[in-house]
């Protein structure tokens, strides 16, 4: 089972990959990063995407079934699997990772919009998230 570095390197082998990171959406820290960072700074990118990820993960209206106050709970599946942001030249795919302890991390993949395949990236990132070993 791959760890953080191996998973991020695997993500970089996807067509069009510009950069990849593993972000803790509670602290806003990048637990690992490879490739280029959007804006040139992985720490700033991690903090900004963590805000977005935290908002979505804690949103009751986006939880499975769309009911209740929702939100991620320790040891539970995140209420949202993926978050996709599309810009003029890129795709940003955030894949929430389930862990046995707190489920407060996501994989962030930055793909070139011309060279990347969003459907393939989503499938592969889900597979990586399922195999990822943290700790």
Residue 135: predicted pLDDT: 55
In this structure, how many other beta carbons lie within 10 angstroms of the beta carbon of residue 122?
17
What is the reported pLDDT for 86?
96
**pLDDT, one tens digit for every residue, the chain (135 residues):** 468 899 999 999 999 999 999 999 999 999 999 999 999 999 999 999 999 999 988 887 776 655 444 444 544 566 789 999 999 999 999 999 987 776 789 999 999 999 999 999 999 999 999 888 765
Q: Which residues contact 27 (CB under 8 A, 6 or more apart)?
A: 50
Direct distance between the N- and C-terminal alpha carbons of the chain, in angstroms, rounded to an integer:
12
Strand partners for 23: 30, 106
pTM of the model: 0.86
Nearest to 71 by CA among 88, 62, 58, 89: 58
Look at residue 65 in the predicted model and tell me its pLDDT: 57
């Amino acid at each position: 089972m791959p760890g953080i570095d191996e998973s991020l390197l695997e993500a970089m082998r996807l067509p069009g990959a510009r950069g990849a990171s593993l972000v803790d959406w509670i602290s806003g820290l990048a637990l690992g990063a490879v490739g280029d960072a959007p804006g040139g700074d992985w720490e700033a990118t991690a903090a900004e995407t963590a805000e977005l990820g935290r908002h979505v993960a804690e949103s009751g209206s986006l939880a499975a079934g769309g009911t209740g106050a929702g939100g991620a709970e320790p040891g539970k599946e995140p209420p949202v699997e993926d978050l996709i942001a599309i810009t003029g030249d890129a795709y940003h795919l955030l894949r929430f990772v389930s862990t046995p302890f707190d489920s407060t991390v996501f994989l962030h993949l930055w793909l070139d919009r011309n060279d990347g395949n969003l459907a393939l990236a989503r499938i592969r990132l889900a597979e990586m998230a399922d195999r990822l070993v943290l700790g």
